[in-house]
Structure 1
Amino acid sequence: MNWIAIRMLTGDRQKFFGLIFGIAFSTLLICQQMTILVNLVQRGANAVYNEYTADVWVMDPVTRTPEVNYAMPSTALEAVRSVPGVEWAVPHLRSSAAVRSSDGDLEGVAIVGVDDTTLLGLPHKMLIGDASVLAEPDAVLIDDVGAGRMFGRGVNPVGERLELNDRRAIIRGVVDATPTFTSQVFLYTRYSRALGFVPGTRNRMSFVLARAAPGVTPEELALRITRQTGWKARTRDQFADDGIAFVIENTGIPFNFGITVMLGFIVGVAIVGLTFSLFIRDNIRQFGALKAIGVTNRKLAGMVGTQAAVVGSVGYAFGILGSVLFIYWFEQAGPNFKGFYSPWQIPIICLIPVVLILGLSGWFGLRSVLNTEPASVFR
């Protein structure tokens, strides 16, 4: 009976392809929007994950994210170093500034000051140059996405001169950093030099980065630092989660993307439901003939379920493939999608609305089949 159901389904190619298109379009829209939502929200944690060496971030109690921070006094550094279980602790500065390029353009940037001696706080990978160039006078490093935004894609920015707070800065290298939620241009330099690039205030140290000694967990060290110093201490993963929560709580992104996902579901129900109803109506005489020769309602329901499963499987596969190709193409086409990926959980989540769409469409179609009188085929 299932073979007969499939032959009935593929016999009307126009409606068959219409059903596949409806499922594929809904799956593509829902999966693609959910993927972009997840990646955008996760960018709230990228500033933390770009710094890969520290186990614990120490900050002022009112600080919420690497971008939304309140400066601490320099004495906090020694206070953190005095806590038992701290292997090392270094200062870290993050501040916004306006930079003027050599051709006169003005650009908002984020200044990141890393430890003068160890250079702890830099991203892991260098694309052009070496981290040791920061020992040169006025040297700064720029992130690859920011370099493309300021100077154009494919242009080597090494040697470009910038003006920061009436001071000269020379780009000596390019680092590989995942863009953050704010998508600012990042300039990395030594901590002492960064103090001259940002406006002078009484307190300018944004964070203290610390590493737990062997035998001490980051969670335990964070609790020790908070109890002994009074400063807020968060592990690397905890602070990354804080950045994600800040994006969710203070932007309308989840709500707006949720509306788009709901629209994809509604469009899927409308297209698939209408097309499936037309398919059942056009084949109602065949279903009536099957009932006339003794096919039970249970087997007829199985036939309709088989048709829905075939359409759903093919349409779902095309939709997932289209979503993956969309993310891959845009990730390759420009820096705005750098680091985007499709989490394995999203296709599973997208399967739920597809099943609901097919269930609703199949239910309405099945009602017509079950209510069909066998004698109608002979009229």
Structure 2
Amino acid sequence: MLHASGVRTGRFTSPHLIDRWDCVTIDQQPAQESAFQQAEDLMMRRNESEAIGASKFELLTATAFELFAREKIEMGVVEVGLGGRLDATNAMQHKAVTVISKIGLDHQSFLGDTIERITREKAGIMRPGVPCVLDRSNSPAVHRVVEDYAREIGTDVVLSSTDSAFLDDLPQKDYEPHQWQNLACAYTAFHLAYTKSESPLHRLAAAVQDMQWPGRLQTLDIRGITGRQEPVLLDGAHNAQSAEVLRRYVDGRLRKEAGKVTWILAASQGKELDDVIKPLIHPGDCVTAVQFGPVDGMPWVQATPPQDILAVAAASGVADGQMHNSGADTSDAMRWATAVAAGGPIVIAGSLYLVSDVLRLLRDAEQVQARYWPNKSTHP
């Protein structure tokens, strides 16, 4: 919405999707590799010369902010890495608006084991006098913690709202409930942050309708890897909250006709597998587990062994003959799933790092095809 309104905008999200530098975008285009590496080298030299001892994520955040400064952005959209209060991104001094979206249990070992404790960590991004947009669909406990902290520091909480002529023009039936809730947060924050005198409302509907977010209910063509003609669903659901959203989508749109779903699953170590996997799987489903590869720039991220995921699948009623261990071979997982699905629905989920591996494989397959068959495309 900012970009469509003519605001020069930078975005920083983590983890990256395919290449390390795509975590930073300028006007919706991934940062150039050379520019990213120049900024990163500068941050690393400064870290060493001043003996700062910054962590990998702190260096990544500093690199993003350095790129924003070089590109002279007018507005930055910055996603926290973990929590908020102690997150590296919270070093920002000039905030126009803060946003707290739907909160669920995640990263409990770092943020606390209750919704209230996690919410307090998230609320740490708030600043005196800077409005905070709160997703109104959050639980009463989340509302209480956020509103109490807002009073404590002296700022206002603005509940996300779809009360807008702009949103009236969008067909709500085309959006999943969580997508509409996120849109309400985004629009409310945009309304508070956009300060130009010109009204951009006539540009926003097209910008929202054209929006595609990789790895979130994304439909993929995997013919270039497996020869499968039917599309597959790719979603980075990796906690109980996002797994429940994915379950509703799959059960309502894919399982309703096919019955059986074939899953390709991975997970990061430390995740509560029961909370993520059990809501997704039905007895009679097929499951292959895979271990995602090393994450560039994030050596602390480790994959869960596939056998641990399959143990949860077995406990959910999946028969031995309907499970497969793909080890660290994502291509093998996709080929096995294609064979056993026999045209039925395939869903890839459990980790954004698995999303990265899949998207990278598809890109490599396209590049090979373009090299040898330049007049054909795996994505017509």
TM range (shorter): under 0.3
TM-score, normalisation: structure 1: 0.24
Query: More helix per residue: 1 or 2?
Result: 1
For the pair shown, the structure with the greater C-alpha radius of gyration is: 1
